[in-house]
Amino acid sequence: MIYVESVSMREQILRPIDFPHNGFEIPYPLEGPNEEQDDPSYLPPEMLVLLRTKQQGIDAINSSCRHAENFLENLTVSLPNVLEREASAWSKK
């Protein structure tokens, strides 16, 4: 502990010796736990971007398939009516 006067509080510089640190060790290297091994749901940022891009591609393909299916469904419903109308128009000529 250190003694700091109230008058010179802004000017006081704390030195490392001022803090009790007996028996305290800092391990080297200063790294946290390996997040990839400890958390199975963790993805590094570069993999997260790839996953988002992959998901966007899958969503685009699914959307394209839905549009094609809607088109074919509308075509099968409306085509017989159009052909019937065209056939009756040709028969009247």
Q: Is pLDDT above 70 for 72?
A: yes
From the list 77, 75, 79, 82, the residue with the least C-alpha distance to 90 is 82
Is residue 2 within 8 A of residue 18, CB to CB? The reply is: yes
Summarised one tens digit per residue, pLDDT across range 4-43 is: 555 555 566 655 555 555 565 655 555 555 555 566 677 7
Q: How far is it, in rounded angstroms, from Cα 48 to Cα 54?
A: 10
In sequence order, which residues have a C-beta less than 8 Å from that of residue 43 and are 6 or more positions away? 51
Whole-model pTM: value is 0.42
